[in-house]
Structure 1
Amino acid sequence: MEIGEGDTILFWHHWWIGDKSLSVMFPRLFYLSNNQRGTIKSMGDWVDEKCEWKLSWNRELSGRDLEQANTLHSLINRARANAAAKDGWRWKPSPNGCFSVKTAYKVLCSEKNPTVHPHEDNIWSLIWKAAVPFKTRTTAWRILKGRLPTCDELQKRQVSFQNADILCGFCKVKDETINHTFFECFKADEVWKEILRWIGKQTTMNHKAKEHLLAFINLGNKDDSHFLLVVWLCTIWCIWKERNVCKFNQGVWRKEKLVAEIKTRIWGWMEAFKMQRITSDFRRWFTEAKLHG
């Protein structure tokens, strides 16, 4: 985010400096602020490219709160702005400042990117090259990066919920998180067990997204890895779609229907992307998807 006049960027709520919004980084100071919905422009005066901050608190700060305020000032004093321009977004990896999937992929796979471990490069490459629709790939990427809009992630962005609304859309018992929705919830776990039976495997899977994916695509031999990746991607895609139906359209959970949809979609994708099949008999394949190994 590029700061111009600062009249459209919310000081506390927008992610304009640091690695997250200031309300998340400094929740105590946010609570004490007299201007929780204020813009950057309303929080100080810009002189050249720097700002003379005028933060206001609902009581005098002392002790730990004062230390936090000093840390906050040290952070925001690094900000630079062009007060003659409008606020805007800029994708720094791209020369023209515009986001593209290509530049995002390069950032993820770059050896200079400290957030990507060497063994992760292959994961991103596999996903982006997988024979599945683009939306499915991006959904998987958001799951693995923890950026899917589940209730816990939305709460971090100051989205408010009623108590019942933060619960899992399937089991209605546990709070909704990415790992719970796709892997920990007993209803999602039933789906994975059915898929494992379908491919002729019995094993206990990890409940963390990345570990789950790696374990799943290694259930067979090298010739099976791409097919297993497609199965995994299709399963998480269908679970997410079902979650939205249950969450927003009062849908009723039906495991058998969901598993059937997963298998049918996989067959359709294999045909659309011209993937090699072990058999051309859909009914036999629908009952048992044999692996090479």
Structure 2
Amino acid sequence: MLPFLFLEKHYFYKGVNPSGFLLANWRWGAGASLGDLWVPGIPNNMPAILPSTVTTSLKVSDLMLDSLAWNDALVRSTFSVGDAEAILSIALSTRRVEDRCVWRLESDGVFSVKTAYSHSFSLSPSRRPNTLNVNGEFWKKIWKGGIPTSVRVHAWRVCNKILPSLEMLASKHVELDSHICVLCETKQECTLHLCCNCPYTKLVLQTNSSVCQVCFDAQTEGFGIIEWLSFCAKQLPQKAFEELLYLLWNVWNERNNRVWKQKKSLAIDVALRACAGLAEFRLHNVRARF
């Protein structure tokens, strides 16, 4: 019986998911061909076969002796020096095992939708929650605030730059008729523009004097969206910060009404609607303040 190569601790990339990340792997026995991905510690796990070598139908098992050891001379004459050393450093097993495809995200090697989804989500370019330069107090002001859950989620999406603005949709290769903001109809629509720089948004925020004074402070010039919101959270009392988030959510709703329902409202009407909506929510949802 021929000895078989069995690598229990090494997983070699064989399959590739649509986003380009290698997920499905082969756990090799000795049935692999010499051109497969079977050697750890070298680029792409694929050994470079010397041009002078005849490799027709050769298998990994052909590189082994009956004494359960590598055929040193054959390995060195078949591969480059570095690859040969990497191959000879692989310990051989006395067990006969078959090649099989394994899922590297599970300890038992069995594919699961849960781990596939979690892995893909963790690699999403739009997911950057751990790189945001904000502290716990900032998130506490959002998640513990006396505002509807939909408003909190909207703020979270804004902070993580996953709000489906026209700029975001374009980055996902969505075909668009225009990239111009439907609120001001002058500038390209992005998250920062919608929340801070849009003339229409400014008109809405100006209806709240305490919010307006902080939001358009000279210090915020050149801030990104997360820096701007973080600054507002630090400078505004809890109640005023909640009013800012509620106003921004209503601006987003107005934007969506224009896109999907072709309905327009004046900035003052949006502000009044937001004020009335938040007052009603607070009336019926008394919460302990911290």
| Equivalence map 1:126-275=2 (5 Å) | 126-162=141-177, 164=178, 166-196=179-209, 201=213, 204-205=216-217, 206=220, 208-219=224-235, 225-274=237-286
- Alpha-carbon offset, residue 244 of structure 1: 0.5
**Cα distance change, pair 6–242 in 1 and its aligned pair in 2 (3 A):** farther
TM-score of the two chains, using structure 1 as the length reference: 0.54
Q: Which amino acid aligns with 1:127?
A: I
Rg larger in 1 or in 2? 2
- Alpha-carbon offset, residue 186 of structure 1: 0.8
**Cα distance change, pair 239–218 in 1 and its aligned pair in 2 (3 A):** same
Percent of pairs with identical residues: 18
CA distance in 2, matches of 1:203, 1:183: 8
TM-score of the two chains, using structure 2 as the length reference: 0.55
CA distance in 1, matches of 2:196, 2:273: 18
- Alpha-carbon offset, residue 216 of structure 1: 3.3
Partner SS, residue 194 of structure 1:
coil
Q: Is the 8 A contact 2:145 2:242 kept in 1?
A: yes
CA distance in 2, matches of 1:116, 1:272: 33
Q: Any gaps of 5 or more consecutive residues in structure 2?
A: 1-13, 29-35, 38-43, 45-102, 123-127
CA distance in 2, matches of 1:190, 1:151: 21
CA distance in 2, matches of 1:158, 1:234: 30
Cα RMSD, aligned residues only: 4.0
- Alpha-carbon offset, residue 268 of structure 1: 1.3
CA distance in 2, matches of 1:202, 1:123: 16
**Cα distance change, pair 171–202 in 1 and its aligned pair in 2 (3 A):** same
CA distance in 1, matches of 2:252, 2:194: 8
Q: Any gaps of 5 or more consecutive residues in structure 1?
A: 19-39, 54-78, 93-97, 100-106, 278-293
Q: Which amino acid aligns with 2:196?
A: F
Q: Is the 8 A contact 1:170 1:253 kept in 2?
A: no
